[in-house]
Amino acid sequence: MKKIFIFLFLLFLTIETTLADNEVIKLDEIIISATRTESSLDRISASSVIVSEAQINSSVANDLSDLFNTTNIVQTTDYGTGSLSTISMRGSSSSQVLVLVDGKRLNDSRNGMVNLDLIPISNIQRIEIIRGGQSAIYGADAVGGIINIITKKPRNSSIKLSSNIGSYGLQSYEIEASKKIKSIGGLISLSRTSSDSDFPYKNKFGEELIRENAEYAKRNVFTKLTWNILPSANLEISANHFYSDANTPGMIGFYTPNAKEKDKTNDFSLNFRHKLSPIASYKITAYDRYAFMRYINPTYPYPSDDTHKTNSKNAEIQFNIFNNTNYPLVIGALHLNEKVDSTAVNERGRQTYSGYAQQEIGKELSLKGLKRVSLFPAIRWDHYSDFEAGISPKIGFLASFEDMVYIRANIGKSYRAPTMSDLYWPSSAMTSGNPNLKPEKSNDGDFGVQLSLLNQLDNIRIRFGTSYFQNNITDGIQWTPTIGGKWIPNNIAKINTKGIETDMMFHLSMLDIPDLFRINSNYTLTIAKDSLGNQLIHRPKHALGYTVRIGTNNLWCQAQGLHQSRRFYTTANTKWLEPFTKYDFQAGMERRILKDTKTGLILELKNAFNADYQLSADYPMPGREWGFRLYFGMEGE
Amino acid sequence: MLFIRRLVIVSLMALMIAFGIIGCGEDNKDNTEDITSTKAVYIVNGSAQTLSMFDIEKSEMKNDVFNTGKWTADIKIVGDKAYVVNTGDNNIQIVDLITLTQTGLINIGDNTSPERIVFADNNKAYVTCLYTNSVKAVDLGSNAVTKDIPVGIGPMGATVAGKKVYVCNPAYDFATNSYGKGTVSVIDSANDSVIKTIDVETNPLEAVTSGDKVFVMCVGNYADIMGKLCIIDSASNTVTKTVDLGTTPSGIAISPKGIAYITTFGGLISVDVNSGELIHTSASPLADFASGSGIAFSKDGTGYICVADWAGTGNDKLLVMDASEKLAGSYKAGGGASIVAIKD
């Protein structure tokens, strides 16, 4: 057996996948998003990654964009610090990735996108990332995958204070207090982040300039209340207010020295769970989300003052039946009411009615090491008031050999909803929406193998997984000129995506210190082609991330590397952004100065070797940056 | 356990093979073959951000022979040099057409949005700048901007007649998505000052010269106001005739025979330069050349019209029109083929 392990390890080296990511695979993690019910990572068919709380806490990130820009968990396209950062998975567009917070949709029905810069880290306990089409479980927009952000929960009496200070005037302050009294728990978190973002860069003539009009200030209030009404029933209520006031500097050569963007979101959600019996439970979820965005640019020639308001109200009931058996079933229904009030598309509304069912059909076996086989059929029906969506099916397969080797496969159909802008953009001389649009459709599948040696070896824990994926998108929505030169969206694009993902973890325990030395890595090969065979813009073919960490929980240091191959930015693939490799270094220490307290310091050097890179053409990214985080926590009974 | 070993090895090897097959290397495009020609048509491929070159003598198209800057809006050829106006880069590339290499770069300045270039003589050029509502005078010896000449709102097309430069001002209002009063600014190239502003029709976008007449193509508002052709007498700087085109035009060029050809979605329409009368109307256009945008004529009277496929399905074309106004050839061009210039 040892020979196999050595062989496999050498194999990783030879195929250059010895990268690492920041504890991408957390051992023994429970994942909720893959099946809408709690499962172990090793008991689901979907390719999944969990970003743990420890991982989030070892960075000096302030928002989700900061966090993802240092890893290869997903690909981001960044339009400048604090401005706009979007996400891509498996070669998808940003509007083909569904982003959720505790199951609540963040994708804006107006433009389909989620701006990662507007998701503060201070709310987040952990992040679940499910790769591949998930419309059979989550409906629209889950084409490339989903990201489900799990927010913090109340703990026993605790107070946490933290502050981040960094380059270019970065300042961030956070206070979090949590208390549980008998069956009731509460948590409140307040944070404020600001930065001048006035980093140096070079323009197209090689002149060194300072990024101007890039400053931002963000503030966030998050509260959560939990109440265990009965031993078998609990209620969770959370509210979140976020406000961002950011200046937008524009692209190189076309600066917007007076442009501003103001964003505000108010979220309220309610979650009631009731366990009826050991094998049956139900959950009622309701949320109300209000998002406001105003963009102001008083400068000629594009003076604008646009306001967009989106309101989403959702009510959902979900039943979990046959829990703790070999065939757990999840069924549910929901109603989503979305309203947009925008200077671009005026007042629009959308009603969605959905029903879904998902089941694991598992069987324990004892056949040549094959210990368990499971099928995961899932189906979802969505009815929209303004377009036809229909049925989204999916089936997954998982085979477990000796709890060490896992074979996974999935195949299904997903879709992306036409946005309100696609459908209702007002008719003018040059543009018009198309109310007859259909959703973008995708047929996707993947196949993967995972090796988990978590308890079999002394002092070493290894997990290695690799998957092949393929996704064919038809009816892609594309704006093209028609008679008279008017640009109108139509369902004409075809995209074929295939690739390979690998995730690797190697943890070594020494000197009686568990996981003293850790390497985590992932590599993604993405071949995303349009109908002419050209790679889609902003999709790097190769992306590699790794983390090497040494130390204990109280004293550690780590190096993170991120490499991406070139990104084309013309559809004909005639021009591209150069490949880049950047390195980040962090070191942290934590001490108990007083009883029941912990005080910690994290130092960070981002882009340590000053790599000159861009993630979107003509939007410069900062060079070397330093930062440190000081925190103090106190926990009581 | 033997089964598991085999399974692990076979699975990983299969994935590695798949990895090798589909993932090796980057896609590189090599354009190292000989690409020079004495008589050629150069096409700006807007979405590919490249030039294509059509060898007139060999009737051969070579695509993506030169990388332009971003959002190229104009190309003009002077001798063996091409001047490529890159709106998105605020610069003008000077391209040696013998070697197809960049030999110079004119920096027009950040936030200027250069649109068209015209030449007063061998030493001086004028560049219209949308963002600054002005025309930049450029010294071709030093390749530097020497003067900023305020004109009308949102200047685009320009042409030279004698010692005067005629600049089209569409007056597009980005805030209201509408057009103001279209005008043409007349610049005296001797002292680089505006000597007159002429009212024309809605959205004057391009201008060409034939003798002492300046033909200003007014596009209309792409909705209820159709395109018009305003003919200006350069001696008096007055509009002597306005021709109702009855459709929305895209590009204009004058053939050696003295006919102005205008590209439209339905096909080519044409106007007799001398009489100002329509020859091919929007009701009976030369339909073989439908959806054309850029148009130019060689000295022998052959017309070259490019048709851009903005849907990105690869149907970008260069159409060749012979002297009898027939379609003489169709050649695949690069992505977004939209502007054309001829070296002959």
Residue A436, pLDDT above cutoff 50:
yes
Contact B111 A1 (CB under 8 A): no
Q: Which residues of A touch B70 (CB under 8 A)?
A: 617-618
Mean pLDDT of B81-90: 96
CB A400 within 8 Å of CB A406: yes
Q: For A266-293, write each residue's pLDDT tens digit.
A: 999 999 999 999 999 999 999 999 999 9
> CA-nearest residue of chain A to B106?
A205
Q: For B269-298, write each residue's pLDDT tens digit.
A: 999 999 999 999 999 999 999 999 999 999
pLDDT of residue B313: 86
Mean pLDDT of A363-367: 88
How far is the C-alpha of A397 from the C-alpha of A535, rounded, in Å? 30
Calculate what percentage of chain A has a pLDDT beyond 90: 74
From A431's Cα to the closest Cα of chain B, the distance in A is 10
How far is the C-alpha of B121 from the C-alpha of B164, rounded, in Å? 11
Angle of helix B2-23 versus helix A2-14 axis, rounded to 10: 0
pLDDT of residue B312: 84
From B314's Cα to the closest Cα of chain A, the distance in A is 7
Contact B19 A525 (CB under 8 A): yes
CATH class, range A2-635: mainly beta
DSSP A441: E
Q: Which residue in the set B12, B26, B67 is minimally distant from A541, CB to CB?
A: B26
pLDDT of residue A30: 82
Between vectors from CA A489 to CA A485 and to CA A494, what angle results, nearest 5°? 115
Cα-Cα-Cα-Cα torsion A74, A79, A80, A81, nearest 10 degrees, comes to -50
Residue A66, pLDDT above cutoff 90:
no
Contact A478 B5 (CB under 8 A): no
Q: For A146-188, write each residue's pLDDT tens digit.
A: 999 999 999 889 999 999 999 999 999 999 999 999 899 999 9
Contact B222 A485 (CB under 8 A): yes
Residue A246, pLDDT above cutoff 70:
yes
Contact B23 A541 (CB under 8 A): yes
Could you tell me which of B80, B139, B131 has the C-alpha nearest to residue B110? B131
Token code pair at residue B222: 């792409």
From B276's Cα to the closest Cα of chain A, the distance in A is 24
Mean pLDDT of B149-175: 95
pLDDT of residue B4: 52
Q: For B241-269, write each residue's pLDDT tens digit.
A: 999 999 999 999 999 999 999 999 999 99
Instruction: Categorize the per-residue pLDDT at A82 as very low, low, confident or very high, splitting at 50, 70 and 90.
Output: low
pLDDT of residue A553: 85
How far is the C-alpha of A503 from the C-alpha of A448, rounded, in Å? 11
Q: Which residues of A touch B64 (CB under 8 A)?
A: 572, 574
pLDDT of residue A520: 92
The mean pLDDT value of chain B amounts to 91
Q: Complex ipTM, two decimals? A: 0.81
The mean pLDDT value of chain A amounts to 90
Residue B50, pLDDT above cutoff 50:
yes
Q: Which residues of A touch B12 (CB under 8 A)?
A: 8, 11, 449, 466
Token code pair at residue A143: 């084409």
pLDDT of residue A19: 31
A69-73, A354-358, B2-6, B82-86: least confident range: B2-6
pLDDT of residue B1: 52
Residue B2, pLDDT above cutoff 60:
no
DSSP A120: B
pLDDT of residue A239: 97
Contact B177 A430 (CB under 8 A): yes
Residue A11, pLDDT above cutoff 70:
no
Instruction: Categorize the per-residue pLDDT at A8 as very low, low, confident or very high, splitting at 50, 70 and 90.
Output: very low
More confident residue, B209 or A82: B209
Instruction: Categorize the per-residue pLDDT at A428 as very low, low, confident or very high, splitting at 50, 70 and 90.
Output: confident
Q: For A199-215, write each residue's pLDDT tens digit.
A: 999 888 888 999 999 99
CB neighbours of residue A14 within 10 Å? 9
Residue A83, pLDDT above cutoff 80:
no
Contact B314 A532 (CB under 8 A): yes
A321-325, A447-451, A585-589: least confident range: A321-325
Q: For A467-517, write each residue's pLDDT tens digit.
A: 999 999 999 999 887 766 678 999 989 999 999 999 999 999 988 888 899
How far is the C-alpha of B136 from the C-alpha of B117, rounded, in Å? 9
Token code pair at residue A204: 């197209």
A343-347, A414-418, A427-431, B119-123: least confident range: A427-431
pLDDT of residue B321: 97
Residue A622's H or E segment, with its range, is none
Position A262, amino acid: K
Residue A18, pLDDT above cutoff 70:
no
With helix as H, strand as E and coil as C, how does A51-106 read? ECHHHHHCCCCCEHHHHHCCCCCCEEEECCCCCCEEEECCCCCHHHEEEEECCEEC
Residue A228, pLDDT above cutoff 60:
yes
Q: Which residues of B touch A255 (CB under 8 A)?
A: 110-111
How far is the C-alpha of B187 from the C-alpha of B178, rounded, in Å? 26
Q: Which residues of B touch A456 (CB under 8 A)?
A: none
pLDDT of residue A430: 77
A82-86, B182-186, B224-228, B254-258: least confident range: A82-86
Q: Whole-model pTM? A: 0.88
pLDDT of residue B36: 58
CB under 8 Å to B28, separation ≥6 — which residues? none
From B306's Cα to the closest Cα of chain A, the distance in A is 15
Token code pair at residue A321: 């039946």
How far is the C-alpha of A56 from the C-alpha of A39, rounded, in Å? 22
Q: Which residue in the set B8, B177, B221 is minimally distant from A405, CB to CB?
A: B8
From B232's Cα to the closest Cα of chain A, the distance in A is 26
Contact A525 B67 (CB under 8 A): no
Residue A34, pLDDT above cutoff 90:
no
Instruction: Categorize the per-residue pLDDT at A7 as very low, low, confident or very high, splitting at 50, 70 and 90.
Output: very low
Residue A69, pLDDT above cutoff 90:
no
pLDDT of residue B333: 97
Q: Which residues of A touch B131 (CB under 8 A)?
A: 300-301
> b/e map of A271-301 (b: 16 or more CB within 10 Å)?
bbbebeeeeebbbebbbbbbbbbebbbebbb
Mean pLDDT of A16-22: 34
